[in-house]
Chains A and B, each alone.
Chain A
Amino acid sequence: MTKTDLMEFSNYQLEGVYDEMFESGGDVRNHYGSFHKKILDIPKKRLSQLQYSTDKTQLSMGMTFNVYHATEGIERILHLDIIPRIINGKEWAVVDKGLQQRIHALNLFLQDIYNDRKILKDGVVPEELILSSKDYLEACVGLTPPKGIWCHITGTDLVRNNDGKFYVLEDNLRCPSGVSYMLENREIVKRVFPDLFHNLGVRPVADYPLKLLKMLQHLSGKDRPVVGVMTPGVYNSAYFEHSYLAQQMGIELVTGQDMVVRENKVYMQTTRGLSQVDVLYRRIDDTFLDPLHFNKDSMLGTPGLFDAYKAGNLGLANAPGTGVADDKAVYAYVPRIIKYYLDEDPIIENVPTYLCREEDDRKYVLENIADLVVKETNAAGGYGMLIGPKATREEHDKFRELIKNNPKNYIAQPTLSLSTVPTVVDKAIEGRHVDLRPYVLYGENIEVIPGALTRVALVRGSLVVNSSQGGGSKDTWVLYED
């Protein structure tokens, strides 16, 4: 075998980015050492074979998501790149502590704004910002959810900047998706690099469904509560994940139409009649939960569901109303929220954020739009977004107008340079930008799962990692060792 048949990194670009495998001088970072050695020994051809069979495996497992408005049929797989993103124990400890802190504070914040509103009265967060948010739910005022927990499941988006530090990009307190990919990616990549797995000491994630179920059961006072996953249905983009989680937990997957509410209790329709449901992990937006209280046209919800929740006969994860705390404008206040409730500085920082609602910030944004990322406060999935440096002058002008017409609807952030990880591209390995979505469960205590979904922008130079826009994923190995 000649040298050119083997993988090599001689053309690997490190300029201007933080690479997860290589230091800026080209040396391999310690925790990637054995992986790097391994991959140098794999013939190029073998590597593309491994990648090919991974694609096939995903397809036959039906690990698909549905794409809205796609022209090439609605089911697609989320491309899984076989080269893992590895994080050492020391760095993970910071992520772990930082996320616990953040979720703790956000949960206190939610309890406060729907009850005493101290933080609003003290002027730390503008009252008007909260009360006018479209995710603020009037119906939740005065309500304390079971055990006082609002955000049971969080999938916080982190990015690593040029300076090598992690920053929080989004909090995702509503129905964060992607955890099934964290689990299935691990199963597939384990088969690709079985030997490494053992030698490196990768922390397991396979017990996530057990932890999730335990957390959900914790929400009910009963000994053996009946728990279900509530899905909008088979046409939802994340349906695979809903059924996957129900299957892994061994519980029913229910739709709104499978249930009825009687005397503030929720029942599902079975072949033997009605059977009570105690806790729902609902993967359906707040306003679709119950047509009697929210969106009247919702065909996805169950009439009376919210009443059952209010009466304490039903646990809901996440609690309705959490969305208000992951509004992109509220995001800018999270460091102050942490300080207010915990009297601590944030362990993981925010990306600096300009609120177009504030005059000075707006002026700055309008003048510097070419250098900034502009986001709609209520959009998700990379839609309604402008990446200044990559956009045309016309697009800049268009967004200036949009901002002037509706400043409250926009925030802006400096363009971060997301870190890169080596990624299989055709028959070579090139750096591609990634983010990091760890999952946090809040039950008896707050637990950060030692793993994550790493999303990767497969297009060279692209910073958009969303699956709906050409993103793929990687398995994320969190090591025991530093």
Chain B
Amino acid sequence: MLSRVANSLYWLGRYVERAENYARFIEVNFNLSLDLPPGMDEQWKPLITATGDYEDYEARYDSYSRKSAIYFLAFDEENTNSIFTSVSKARENARIVRENLTKETWEKLNEVYLTMKEGIQQEVWKNENPAEFIRNIKYAIQLLYGIADNSVARTEGWYWVNLGQFLERADKTSRVLDVKYHYILPSPADVGSPLDDLHWVALLKSVSGFNTYRRSYGNISPSGLVDFLVLDTRFPRSIYFCLTEAENCLHKISGNSEKGFSNKAEKVMGELRSQLEYDDISDVVQHGLHEYLDNLQIKLNHISDEIFDCFFRFKNNLVADKILQE
């Protein structure tokens, strides 16, 4: 597969996943705000902080009102990570590699883009219930996954999209956990209070993990949740699960057996995956959750850089000559 095409497919996977996760964030925060006790303000700041775009927001907006926050997270073209920007970039990448996609995949993605544009025209963020629109975007993206799942051949292209998707999801799950770190409770005594629980439940719902968690872990407890979202081996949005899948994609791409590594990208990926495999909840707690997640995000970025280096970087003449001689 052409390096350029692989690169676009990888980013297609990342952007689509990013857009879907942002839709989840907004929906859940919106619902959470409906459950707050009277007199308590909605908290949009923690969410924006956790996305990493806090500075951009501060520079351009003067309050954390629901409208501004939703506009910023979903529709703002200047926010490099908003749903609209991500969907546009996903579509742009899809357009670049359209000949590698199935007709349905492209058409559905294009429709998501057109719907987002309509949303901007209709100024959806001013609606009383903007969550409805956002939820439909989430479903439209999930439809895309469904179509791809049973119509796209498991050839190299498939693994590139999935690699991007799982790395992005790992990053986003780490960020959703981090939101909790930034939520402000009225007083330290409120730790473990119903409001605190409400926050945790909201996080679980944002990753569609509430019921699963309840069945496997029972009570809401910070350590249970962290265990579930970071280290769980079976839940498809846990960071460990995502890394295992991403590593598998990389192996398929390189054509290696599933053990060890054959290039730098596989090496750093395998290292992080096995670190999580052997970490337990006490390692996370010892580190401090926020620091642990921060560290994880840095390592995920490092993996992405190595992937770029191994597969996408324009090979200079020396490398090209070397390959020819072999």
Contact = CB atoms under 8 A, between A and B. Distances in A.
B287 interface: no
A211 B252 CA distance: 34
Contacts of B311: 271
A271 B107 CA distance: 27
Given A243-B98, A262-B320, A269 B314 contact: yes
A262 B321 contact: yes
Contacts of A252: 2, 5, 99
B156 A271 contact: yes
A62 B2 contact: no
A30 interface: no
Given A59-B114, A62-B106, A271-B156, A244 B98 contact: yes
A274 B3 CA distance: 10
B124 to A, nearest CB: 20
Given A234-B96, A254-B2, A262-B321, A271 B110 contact: no
Interface in A229-252: 229, 234, 239-240, 243-244, 246-247, 252
Q: For A240, A247, A257, A269, which residue has the most chain B Cβ atoms within 10 angstroms?
A: A269
Contact of B99 (A61, A62, A243): A243
A243 B98 CA distance: 6
Given A270-B1, A274-B323, A60 B110 contact: yes
B76 interface: no
A21 B181 CA distance: 72
Contacts of A409: none
A258 interface: yes
B99 A271 contact: no
Nearest to A75: B95
Contacts of A262: 320-321, 324
Contact of A257 (B4, B97, B317): B4
Contacts of B96: 234, 243
B321 A258 contact: no
A61 B95 CA distance: 11
Given A257-B314, A271-B156, A234 B95 contact: yes
Interface in A255-279: 255, 257-258, 260, 262, 267-274
Contacts of B314: 257, 269
A253 interface: yes
Nearest to B98: A243
Interface string B98-116: 1111000011001100100
A437 B307 CA distance: 46
Nearest to B91: A62
Contact of A239 (B1, B3, B4, B95): B95
B201 interface: no
Q: For B4, B106, B321, B324, which residue has the most chain A Cβ atoms within 10 angstroms?
A: B4
Interface string B152-190: 000010000000000000000000000000000000000
A269 B98 contact: no
Contacts of B106: 62
Contacts of B97: 243, 253
Given A60-B107, A60-B111, A61-B107, A255 B317 contact: no
B95 A274 contact: no
Contacts of A257: 4, 314
A235 to B, nearest CB: 10
B6 interface: yes
Nearest to B321: A262
Nearest to B317: A260
Contact of B107 (A62, A229, A272): A62
Q: For B99, B314, B317, which residue has the most chain A Cβ atoms within 10 angstroms?
A: B99
A258 B4 contact: yes
A244 B99 contact: yes
B12 to A, nearest CB: 13
A62 B315 CA distance: 33
A271 B6 contact: yes
B176 to A, nearest CB: 32
Contacts of B95: 62, 234, 239, 243
B196 interface: no
Contacts of A274: 320, 323-324
B253 interface: yes
Contacts of B2: 252, 254, 258, 268-271
A271 B253 contact: yes
Interface string B79-97: 0000000000000100111
Nearest to B313: A269
A255 B324 contact: no
Interface in A405-442: none
Contacts of B324: 262, 267, 274
10 contacts: A60-B111, A239-B95, A243-B99, A246-B99, A247-B99, A247-B101, A255-B4, A269-B320, A270-B1, A271-B3
Given A62-B95, A271-B156, 16 more contacts: A61-B110, A62-B106, A229-B99, A239-B95, A240-B98, A243-B99, A252-B2, A252-B5, A257-B4, A258-B3, A260-B317, A262-B320, A268-B2, A269-B4, A271-B311, A272-B1
Q: Which 10 A-B pairs have the closest CB atoms?
A: A247-B99, A246-B99, A243-B98, A273-B323, A243-B99, A62-B110, A269-B3, A271-B311, A253-B99, A271-B6
